C-alpha cells in the first residue's frame, strides 16, 4: 500500500516536471548546457515509464518489433 502510494507520487511528480508548468523557470539542469542539458528530462521520463509499468501499463511494448508466434494447427 505504501509502496504503491510512493510510486504514484513519484510518477505524478515526474509527469508534472515533464509538462513543465513553470515554463522553464524550474529546471534541475539548464537545457542550454551542451550534452547534459536534457538529462533531467530523460530521468523524469524514465521514472514516469517505470511508474506506469509498476501499475501494469507498459507502454514501452508499443515499440516492440517482434511479431507474436502463431501456432500451426494440424
Per-residue model confidence as pLDDT tens digits over 36-48: 878 888 899 999 9
For residue 44, being part of any structural domain is answered with yes
For residue 70, being part of any structural domain is answered with no
Q: What is the distance of C-alpha 37 from the center of its chain?
A: 18
Mean pLDDT per 10-residue segment, the chain (74 residues): 94 90 71 82 92 92 75 70
Average pLDDT for the chain: 84
Determine the pLDDT at residue 45: 93
Residue span of the structural domain in which 33 resides: 2-60
Determine the pLDDT at residue 24: 66
Q: In percent, how much of the chain has pLDDT > 70?
A: 88
For residue 49, being part of any structural domain is answered with yes
Q: What is the distance of C-alpha 33 from the center of its chain?
A: 22
Alpha-carbon gap, residue 31 to 24, rounded angstroms = 9
Amino acid at each position: 500500500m505504501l509502496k504503491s502510494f510512493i510510486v504514484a507520487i513519484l510518477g505524478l511528480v515526474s509527469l508534472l516536471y515533464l509538462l513543465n508548468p513553470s515554463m522553464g523557470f524550474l529546471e534541475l539542469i539548464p537545457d542550454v548546457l551542451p550534452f547534459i542539458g536534457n538529462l533531467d528530462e530523460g530521468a523524469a521520463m524514465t521514472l514516469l515509464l517505470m511508474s506506469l509499468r509498476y501499475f501494469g501499463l507498459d507502454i514501452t511494448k508499443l515499440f516492440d518489433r517482434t511479431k507474436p508466434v502463431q501456432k500451426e494447427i494440424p
